[in-house]
Structure 1
Amino acid sequence: MTEDMQGHGGPIPPPSNSERSVVVCGTAGGVGTSVISALLAEYRASTSLSGASWWVDAAGNDGDLHQRLRATGDEALLRTAAGTGLLPAPEAAITDVVLHTWRFGAVPVVDAGARPLTALPELCSPELADVTPVLVVGPRPDLLNRSREVFSEWEHAGVLRRTIVVICCQVPTLNHQALTGMLTDAVTGEVAGVIGLDYEPVLGAGTALDNAAQQGFSPATRQSIHDLAAATVRR
């Protein structure tokens, strides 16, 4: 953890925006956590927050989203064409990076990677009480079975009820509707919301995600991103 992220003094309040800060966790690797978190930050930058929308890479992996988003500028905080700030923080604690962004008046979307159980104690802390957790799951039987412990632990800790669940389908031939329906039925009333993201060919290509690429999203994908943004607005 870098010294400037450790902070000093009293508690730091979140910025007084309508949008809440968000921490996104995948219930397994490869379910789309980084892409979904980045697209949420991009949507906020282009619609409401402008440069106050930051995407924080705290997944601890060697990612390439800064390249796929065609970000440029200062390596300490790259910027996309939409204005999203991209902050690398692979070794910092989630609480530290959130408080760090708040010092700059930013509203972050933190990519916490596939560490939902590691992140849970921080999501329970008073410092992150104003943060919306997002869980990304894949609609495959094996991935849903592996996510059972995560849902159980998050529910036991009292975090699940303020969590948005995103069901991300990454395989075009997968008939995921039945599994998605089962999961939705299982968690309805236990979570703050459930959003489905159907297979998107632009995302499936694994190439650019900049403004030009996002223009090629299907209406369904656009609606899902809009719904996720709406679900993370302060009520």
Structure 2
Amino acid sequence: MSEDAQGQSGTIRPPDTAENSVVVCGTAGGVGTSVVSALLAEHRAATSLGGASWWVDAAGNDGDLHQRLRATGDQALLRTASGTGLLPAPDAAVTDVVVHTWRFGAVPVVDAGSRPLTVLSELETPELRDVTPVLVVGPRPDLLNRAREIFTEWDDAGVLARTIVVICCQVPTLNHQALTDMLIEVVAGRVAEVVGLDYEPILGDGTALDKAAQQRFSQNTWTAINQLTVATGAVRR
């Protein structure tokens, strides 16, 4: 365990809330990992956690989510209109990031980028046993084929069983339903839950994702986000 993960009186534990801390990984770049993780943190802030909901940017990229969410305030921890805290942590280990937020009573959603095999070793540790992993997958044949190794490695490590899979469709003309159904059939019973996120025109614009933009989401999008929110609020194992 790193020095930051150890308190003076013992291991730092997560806040006593119904919601779990979450680590979100993409099975490839560009599948929607940052957007899915940010919207989860936003929905939790709006519905249950308030300012204790933090979105942590640990993807290691030059992202623009803080701008798209119209966050303001202290650069060390910006806030959105929904109350979500946005914490930049580009160079930190996921374990250190999560424990750091717990010190402030926060319940983070960590955007770990497209590093599912790298992050897996941390998700196996006792420090993160109460954290819910999320894998974001794109419903394209090439992306699903590339995800096979990731599912196998996560399954062998015993992490897949507590993982929520989000199938994120980012192309409006993509006939993804057959691929989505196939993936659900393959992973059903091996993962905690599967959430299908259909193409959302507001997200497809690539512009603002603030509270006003979120209010224009389709009902299908809200249903998927709510399903993901409920799934990550399950009782800790």
Length-normalised TM-score, structure 1: 0.97
Secondary structure in structure 2 of the residue aligned to 1:147:
helix
Q: Match of 1:213?
A: 213
Per-residue CA shift, 1:173-210, capped at 9, x if unaligned? 00000000000000000000000000000000000000
Distance 1:206 1:44, change over 3 A: same
Q: Does residue 75 of structure 2 align to residue 110 of structure 1? A: no
Q: Match of 1:129?
A: 129
Q: Match of 2:82?
A: 82
Q: Match of 1:234?
A: 234
Q: Match of 2:222?
A: 222
Aligned length: 233
Per-residue CA shift, 1:39-59, capped at 9, x if unaligned? 000000000000000000000
Given that 1:89 and 1:97 are in contact with CA atoms closer than 8 Å, whether structure 2 keeps it comes out as yes
| One-letter amino acid matched to 1:167 | I
**Where has structure 1 moved over 6 Å in runs of 4 or more?**
none
Q: CA RMSD in A?
A: 1.2
Given that 2:18 and 2:234 are in contact with CA atoms closer than 8 Å, whether structure 1 keeps it comes out as yes
Taking every aligned residue pair, what percent have the same amino acid on both sides?
A: 75
Given that 1:170 and 1:199 are in contact with CA atoms closer than 8 Å, whether structure 2 keeps it comes out as yes
Q: Match of 1:153?
A: 153
Question: Displacement, 1:74?
Answer: 0.3
Q: Which runs of 5+ in 1 are unaligned?
A: none
Q: Match of 1:168?
A: 168
Q: Match of 2:191?
A: 191
Length-normalised TM-score, structure 2: 0.96
Q: Match of 2:29?
A: 29
| One-letter amino acid matched to 1:197 | L
Given that 2:23 and 2:109 are in contact with CA atoms closer than 8 Å, whether structure 1 keeps it comes out as yes
Question: Displacement, 1:234?
Answer: 2.9
Q: Which runs of 5+ in 2 are unaligned?
A: none
Q: Match of 2:65?
A: 65
